[in-house]
């Protein structure tokens, strides 16, 4: 791919703006030698204003999503892209959330521009476990774990029952839920189905990957070791 297109696709500017950056000598190799638009240079050797380029397509990151942010590019309120470098929103292919968390749900959100990986993570065939910590409006009544594990719970306006889910009690109004599906508002609707209400919801784990101290509102790139961990079973 031509350098102008490659750099524009990473969100650094339009092709016209990137062509200007070349003319201004802002794009160099690792030794500071000015590059020209038709040079052939590996991605890792390119610098813009002495900074390494963002990762190429195939980028995966985890974000510790705070409440109050929507998983969308267009929303009048705050969106997850506000927490990332502005050019990440302009990448092509698009950097998308892997599944969604509700605006009022916090926790681990993966994002990638790799469509095949996104599909592998979200596909019901993969059955990747997601762990949620729910704080409830009312005390647990005692039968919830059995109802969720039954594989027969039918949510309103659905035509197939939920797959069995594991619930562990973590206090009178706190529960940890491990799901292998990702239906719309699933956790909130599951607790509504047993007469409760979720006051706060946090996703702590996706597959074998946890936030591991990543502060709220921050993100980090994932590498091969993280991806191996992601597809490893939840302990």
Residue ranges binding ligand URA (CB under 6 A): 101-102, 105, 185-188, 201
Residue among 165 and 201 whose Cβ is closer to ligand URA? 201
Residue among 9 and 70 whose Cβ is closer to ligand URA? 70
Residue among 9 and 106 whose Cβ is closer to ligand URA? 106
Minimum gap (Å) between residue 100 Cβ and ligand URA: 7
Query: Among positive and negative, which fits the CA dihedral 61, 65, 71, 77?
Result: negative
Catalytic hit among 29, 39, 102, 226 = 102
Minimum gap (Å) between residue 230 Cβ and ligand URA: 17
Contact between residue 201 and residue 66 where contact means Cβ atoms under 8 Å apart = no
Residues 6+ apart with CB under 8 A from 111: 60, 61, 62, 63, 80, 84, 95, 96, 97, 98, 219
Q: Among this protein's residues, is 102 annotated catalytic?
A: yes
Q: Where are the alpha helices (DSSP H) in the chain?
A: 3-9, 15-23, 115-122, 144-149, 186-193, 224-230
Question: Where does residue 151 fall: left (phi above 0), alpha (psi -120 to 50 degrees), or beta otherwise?
Answer: left
Minimum gap (Å) between residue 205 Cβ and ligand URA: 13
Residue numbers annotated as active site: 102
């Amino acid at each position: 791919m031509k350098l102008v297109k490659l750099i524009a696709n990473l969100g650094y500017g339009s092709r016209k703006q990137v062509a200007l950056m070349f003319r201004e000598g802002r794009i160099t190799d690792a030794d500071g030698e000015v590059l020209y638009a038709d040079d052939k240079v590996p991605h890792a050797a390119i610098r813009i204003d002495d900074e390494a380029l963002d990762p190429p397509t195939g980028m995966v990151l985890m974000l510790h999503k705070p409440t109050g942010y929507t998983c969308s590019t267009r929303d009048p309120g705050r969106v997850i892209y506000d927490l990332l470098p502005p050019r990440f929103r302009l990448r092509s292919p698009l950097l998308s959330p892997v599944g969604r968390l509700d605006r009022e749900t916090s926790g681990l959100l993966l994002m990638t521009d790799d469509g095949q990986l996104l599909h592998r993570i979200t596909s019901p065939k993969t059955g990747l476990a997601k762990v949620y910590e729910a704080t409830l409006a009312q005390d647990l009544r005692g039968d919830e774990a059995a109802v969720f594990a039954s594989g027969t719970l039918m949510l309103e306006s659905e035509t197939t029952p939920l797959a069995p889910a594991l619930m562990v009690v973590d206090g009178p109004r706190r529960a940890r839920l491990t799901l292998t599906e990702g239906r719309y508002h699933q956790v909130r609707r599951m607790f509504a189905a047993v007469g409760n209400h979720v006051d706060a919801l946090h996703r702590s784990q996706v597959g074998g990957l946890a936030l591991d101290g990543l502060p709220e509102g921050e993100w980090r790139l994932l590498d091969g070791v993280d991806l191996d961990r992601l597809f490893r079973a939840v302990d």
